[in-house]
Structure 1
Amino acid sequence: MTAEPDLDTLLAQSRRRARLGLWRRNTSDWVLFLAGAGLILWGVFAGAQAMRYNWQWYRIPDYFWREIDGEIIWGPFVRGLLVTLEITLWGALLAFAIGLAVALLRLSRSWAGHALATAYLELIRNTPLLVQMYLFYFVLSPILGIDRFWTGVLALAVFEASFISEILRSGILSVPPAQWEAASSLGMRGYATYRKVVLPQAVPLMLPPLTSSLVNLVKSSAIVSTIAIFDLTNEGRTVIADTFMTFEVWLTVAAIYLVLTISLSAVASWLERRARRHTDP
């Protein structure tokens, strides 16, 4: 008779099978990714070759920075990236503040506040961002007396806040009613309930969609180029107008946006894991 394998052996075999399955899945995912990326790149280069396009990648680094007499001169890509980051930062702060106010109005018992927040959501979410940008620039900007930079920031913030408000509201509502009742039975009120009971449970659920909103804000910021703000996209258009390096410039601009959004997603994933470690029993 053969001896039955002990529990440790079975667990070790199970772990090996799990690692093997994960390795196979990861390998197949990477193969599909590389195949798709290769197909896209092949299409771009094949199209450029059919157009007899003259590639000039060697000129691209000069549009990041140049060193003249020992001094670094930042190029249009870096200047545009800094403007994009500034727009994203202020837009995210304003969008969160507006979104929080709208979420609280939606959760309040005031019918007037609820109706006002609902009207805002329906109006903003069902009209194009480009149209809103033009309305802010040509209508509200002269009335409020603000420059084009803050006009673009405000338009982006108002648009993105319509999504953030629903994320915040759904995150708060995801906390079971029993938790609210338990906090109330312990004598907690208002701020203490949110800080000690609601937010520790809601924040890990909010982080992934909030990250998506921030990434969407970064990508949507390119629309400020329509009102002559020299962000990364507009700087790219200026370089193309000067050099006619259409393929190189747009591929470079797209790569910068990609690195920026992936970095934001990675930071948000780290924050989400950390938040879950602190809330898990």
Structure 2
Amino acid sequence: MSGGEREFPWWLVAMVVLLGGLAVMIWRDPVYAGLFAVVSRGVLTTIWVTLASFVAASVLGLAIAAAGLSRFRPLRQAAIFYVQLVRGIPIIVILSYTAFVGVPLLVAAYGTVFAPAIEAGLMPAVLTRDVDLVWRAVFALTIGYAAFLAEIFRAGILSVSKGQVEAATALGLGRFQVFRLIVLPQAVPVVLPPLGNDFISMVKDSALVSAIGVADIAYMGKTASSTNFRYFETYNIVAFLYLVMTLGLSLGLGWVERRLRRRYER
């Protein structure tokens, strides 16, 4: 491919044809239409779990990245320990441990610490069953993905040379001004592509929350196929819904990335 010539996206044409064919089948075939009506009930749950988890993981990941770059050695070592520990455990294990071990332990600790206030009616009593499975899933994905996002943020911050930061500080700029005017404009183009990739990965990994009983797309598909035994049609629809979301996100994030890159290169 020469110069600025762009290759025609035949892959996108093939993807549109594939998704279009599935959409026609869902529209015209009564079996597909009925299954789609059932499986699509999990779309909003999937979107909510993904968005809430990603926002929370981004905040926690940024805090961990800042701790990892701290001059205070115990804080720096604690951040490294968290990242190495969590990245070494599969997400499905984190989900199961959080939902069925972590949350019950937290509820028990809450009941023990605040027992006098609960008995006096000043604070509500909380049972493990009161903690919705969706929130347990969000909590678990936040814990799991924060470790990966922390490394992305750390790499973005470290991509800015120390000389620029020191020069800005010597000119009298405060820490926030240095971050906003020097670090952020250069770090954003670096972290945006991997952040987008992790967001898309989280959409797919959110299917794992079906293992703890969250009624997302994957759970609705598993429930539908176990009752009608139409596994081929059901999982075609499940794949269709995930492909529509991930392809849309991929194209949208690519467009945002190009816009931001042009903006910061001016």
TM over 0.5: yes
- Partner SS for 2:101: helix
Q: Is 1:130 matched with 2:92?
A: yes
In 2, Cα distance between the equivalents of 1:248 and 1:83? 21
In 2, Cα distance between the equivalents of 1:262 and 1:188? 42
RMSD: 2.5
Contact 1:208–1:272, Cα closer than 8 Å, also in 2: yes
Contact 1:92–1:214, Cα closer than 8 Å, also in 2: yes
Q: Is 1:117 matched with 2:97?
A: no
Tell me which residue corresponds to 1:270: 255
Identity %: 37
In 1, Cα distance between the equivalents of 2:76 and 2:230? 51
In 1, Cα distance between the equivalents of 2:173 and 2:250? 35
Q: Which structure ranks higher in relative contact order (CA pairs < 8 Å, sequence separation ≥ 6)?
A: 2
Contact 1:105–1:113, Cα closer than 8 Å, also in 2: yes
In 2, Cα distance between the equivalents of 1:111 and 1:177? 19
Alignment gaps of 5+ in structure 1: 1-16, 39-55, 65-74
Tell me which residue corresponds to 1:58: 30
In 2, Cα distance between the equivalents of 1:179 and 1:114? 23
Q: Where in structure 2 are the equivalents of 1:29-68 lying within 5 Å? A: 30=10, 57-64=29-36
Contact 2:35–2:234, Cα closer than 8 Å, also in 1: no
Q: CA deviation at 1:18?
A: 6.2
Contact 2:39–2:237, Cα closer than 8 Å, also in 1: no
In 2, Cα distance between the equivalents of 1:180 and 1:144? 42
Q: CA deviation at 1:174?
A: 0.3
Which TM-score applies when normalising by structure 1?
Answer: 0.76
Contact 2:156–2:188, Cα closer than 8 Å, also in 1: yes
In 2, Cα distance between the equivalents of 1:111 and 1:270? 40
Contact 1:141–1:148, Cα closer than 8 Å, also in 2: no
Tell me which residue corresponds to 1:250: 235
Tell me which residue corresponds to 2:177: 192
Query: Which structure 1 residue ranges, 4+ long, deviate > 3 Å from structure 2?
Result: none
Match of 2:246 among 261, 266, 272: 261
Tell me which residue corresponds to 2:191: 206
Letter in 2 for 1:177: K
Q: Where in structure 2 are the equivalents of 1:13-32 lying within 5 Å? A: 22=6, 26=8, 30=10
Alignment gaps of 5+ in structure 2: 19-27, 108-130
Larger Rg: 1
Letter in 2 for 1:163: F
Which TM-score applies when normalising by structure 2?
Answer: 0.80
